[in-house]
């Protein structure tokens, strides 16, 4: 909580009420960014799932608290390479390797965050249909606050003076994950910031980058050649914010278009839709927050784009290629 308080102390053009709103919202939702389209960013959320969906590149743009100026905006671009030969089926006991790279930029009021995530995963086939996966990700984050845009309530506040003297934090971390996966099912566990170091203004380091645990799973089933369902869920926990769970269900038509909805604990409802055109996918999500401010509902918009380098081959019979 104190991190967001001193990063956004009485920003110009904002009332004290709005600052309290942002602090409250941030403390409950922002320790690890919310991603409405999280099933498409498994590499970023669990390094063990790097390359699980093949070689691809994807990205999203997200804005939150959409009715307010200088509200949080997030840009993320990631790519992953499955180093196995897609034309050859792996034999039991065979190990395959994947690499991934993600970059993220967040802008919230006077504070910006830039980050990199370099991941590696190894996958071994343990049965004809099931793989065991393990992965690591090296992370870097740079957090910077533009103190010249802040108007403190008290110029001699020691926290504000410390921020003026050093307005940057560099954080280095290591994420780890494991998972089991098949063509239409995955389940995994990841630990964020299992190892971390930092330099710069570390006064707020401990409660900003805490060890987080996350479990995530998905299952998809084609009922006919033209219709299928996809379910995804995620739960994350840390000692400060405790647990946050979310789930989504999508209806997929002709393996080409989808329409669905979901719910994130303590945040609200998520509506999502998208379409696949060849190797491209584009999706849109709208979050409807359960809270209202001055009669207006808070929420978020998110647009996701992705491209798979291996063509989507329409096999005979029922199938799904959308998560």
Residue-level pLDDT at 252: 97
Burial group, residue 77, by CB count within 10 angstroms (0-12, 13-18, 19+) = middle
CA angle 245, 246, 249 (to 5 degrees): 150
Residue-level pLDDT at 273: 98
- Give tens-digit pLDDT for 157-216: 656 666 666 677 888 899 999 999 999 999 999 999 888 777 765 555 555 668 899 999
- Give tens-digit pLDDT for 132-170: 999 999 999 988 877 666 666 666 665 666 666 667 788
- Under 8 Å between Cβ of 188 and 217: yes
In a domain, 263, yes or no: yes
Q: Look up residue 254 and give its two tokens.
A: 């002709």
- The Cα–Cα gap between 318 and 222 comes to 6
In a domain, 319, yes or no: no
Mean pLDDT, to the nearest integer, of 119-135? Answer: 95
Structural domain count, the chain: 1
135-149, 235-249, 271-285, 302-316: which has the highest mean pLDDT?
Answer: 271-285
Mean pLDDT, to the nearest integer, of 277-295? Answer: 81
In a domain, 107, yes or no: yes
In a domain, 322, yes or no: no
Residue-level pLDDT at 314: 54
Which range among 2-11, 91-100, 272-281, 313-322 shows the weakest confidence by mean pLDDT? 2-11
In a domain, 317, yes or no: no
- Give tens-digit pLDDT for 287-321: 887 665 555 556 889 999 999 998 765 555 568 88
- Under 8 Å between Cβ of 176 and 135: yes
In a domain, 45, yes or no: yes
Residue-level pLDDT at 231: 98
In a domain, 323, yes or no: no
Residue-level pLDDT at 20: 36
- Under 8 Å between Cβ of 134 and 177: yes
- Under 8 Å between Cβ of 46 and 214: yes
Domain that holds residue 47: 2-308
Question: Cα–chain-centroid distance for residue 114?
Answer: 14
- The Cα–Cα gap between 137 and 190 comes to 10
In a domain, 315, yes or no: no
pTM for this structure?
A: 0.82
Contacts of 254 (CB under 8 A, 6+ apart): 225, 226
- Give tens-digit pLDDT for 16-64: 334 434 433 343 333 467 899 999 999 999 999 999 999 999 999 999 8
Residue-level pLDDT at 315: 54
268-277 vs 73-82, strand pairing mode: unpaired
Residue-level pLDDT at 152: 61
Q: What are phi and psi of 253, to 5 degrees?
A: -115, 125
pLDDT tier for residue 9 given thresholds of 50, 70 and 90:
very low
In the Cβ-directed half-sphere of 282, how many Cα atoms lie within 13 Å? 2
- What is the CATH classification number for the domain harbouring 26? 2.40.160.40
Residue-level pLDDT at 157: 62
């Amino acid at each position: 909580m104190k991190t967001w308080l001193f990063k956004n102390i009485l920003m110009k053009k904002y009332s004290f009420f709005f600052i309290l709103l942002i602090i409250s919202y941030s403390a409950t939702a922002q320790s690890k960014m919310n991603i409405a389209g999280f099933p498409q960013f498994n590499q970023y959320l669990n390094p063990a799932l790097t390359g699980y969906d093949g070689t691809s590149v994807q990205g999203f743009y997200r804005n939150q608290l959409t009715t307010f100026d200088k509200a949080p905006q997030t840009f993320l671009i990631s790519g992953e390479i499955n180093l196995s030969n897609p034309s050859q089926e792996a034999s039991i006991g065979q190990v395959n390797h994947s690499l991934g790279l993600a970059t993220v930029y967040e802008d919230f009021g006077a504070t910006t965050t830039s980050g990199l995530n370099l991941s590696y995963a190894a996958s071994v086939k343990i049965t004809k249909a099931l793989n065991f996966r393990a992965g690591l990700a090296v992370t870097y984050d740079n957090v910077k606050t533009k103190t010249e845009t802040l108007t403190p309530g008290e110029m001699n506040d020691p926290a504000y003076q410390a921020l003026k003297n050093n307005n940057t934090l560099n954080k280095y971390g290591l994420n780890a994950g494991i998972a089991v996966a098949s063509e239409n099912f995955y389940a995994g566990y990841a630990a964020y910031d299992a190892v971390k170091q930092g330099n710069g203004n570390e006064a707020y380091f401990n409660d900003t980058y805490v060890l987080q645990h996350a479990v995530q799973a998905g299952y998809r089933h084609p009922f006919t050649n033209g219709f299928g369902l996809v379910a995804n869920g995620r739960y994350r926990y840390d000692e400060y914010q405790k647990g946050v769970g979310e789930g989504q269900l999508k209806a997929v038509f002709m393996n080409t278009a989808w329409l669905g909805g979901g719910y994130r604990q303590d945040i609200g409802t998520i509506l999502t839709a998208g379409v696949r055109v060849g190797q491209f996918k584009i999706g849109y999500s709208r979050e409807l927050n359960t809270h209202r401010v001055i009669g207006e509902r808070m929420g978020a918009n998110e647009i996701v784009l992705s491209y798979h380098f291996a063509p989507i081959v329409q096999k005979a019979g029922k199938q799904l290629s959308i998560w």
